[in-house]
Amino acid sequence: MNSFSIIITIIVTLYFIKKQFEYEKVKLSRYLVIPVFASYQFFNSVEIENALDAFICGIAFVAAVLVAFYQVRTFTFKTVEKRSRYYVKVNGEKQPFYRDEYLAKGESAYLIGWIALFIVQVALSLMANELQLADISHEWLTEVLQDLLLLARINGHSAWWAWELFAVSNLTYYIVLRRQNETFRRNIQKNE
């Protein structure tokens, strides 16, 4: 890995870490649509041909569920009023129209869980001889970019266990959030 690649990887990683501690708009695509797509990709690509494949499938499933339960611990959700570009007339005067915007952030538990899933994915890829140790830094950058840019994940060519890890962890995260956080459940339904 050359110096330029190292600098880019560090910059992108720091940006990714910063994003985990900032509120961003709740989008149904991030919480449900993309994980459903990942499930589709997993079911279309999974090939359980031997005991190692079955082991990888089981480990990926258990790790993804455990990490998702851990990640929900520091989830923060808030509602803010955002001024719309629309106006309503009140007593003949134009008044700005406000609407609720729903924001969320994952914080430290989400970040730690994301790193744990990356480690599991690398370990499974090494076990299946799909990855070499020299390729781990490239894999790191790819995963960070795919998490920041969801379209990159859609176009990504991942092993079936990577799709399983992503799908199961994100669907579990979504289900647990809906069950544990009344505000999230009430407001995500408005976006559905």
Question: Which residue is listed with tokens 């790193």?
Answer: 115
Question: What are the backbone angles phi and psi of residue 85, rounded to the nearest 5°?
Answer: -80, 0
pLDDT digits (tens, 9 = 90+) for 104-144: 898 999 999 999 999 999 999 888 888 788 788 878 888 88
- Checking if the pLDDT of 84 tops 80, the result is no
Could you tell me the CA-to-CA distances from 189 to 33, 40, 48, 70, 178 in Å, in that order? Answer: 14, 23, 36, 24, 10
What mean pLDDT comes out for the span 85-94? 79
Question: Which residue is listed with tokens 């869980």?
Answer: 113
Predicted local distance difference test score (pLDDT) of residue 54:
94
Mean pLDDT across the chain = 86
pLDDT digits (tens, 9 = 90+) for 138-154: 788 888 888 887 666 77
Burial of 163: CB neighbours in 10 Å, binned 0-12, 13-18, 19+: buried
Three-class HEC string of 88-149 = EEECCEEEEEEEEEEEEECHHHHHHHHHHHHHHHHHHHHHCCCCCHHHHHHHHHHHHHHHHC
Predicted local distance difference test score (pLDDT) of residue 163:
92
CB-facing half-sphere around the CA of 151: CA atoms within 13 A: 0
- Checking if the pLDDT of 59 tops 90, the result is yes
- Checking if the pLDDT of 189 tops 70, the result is no
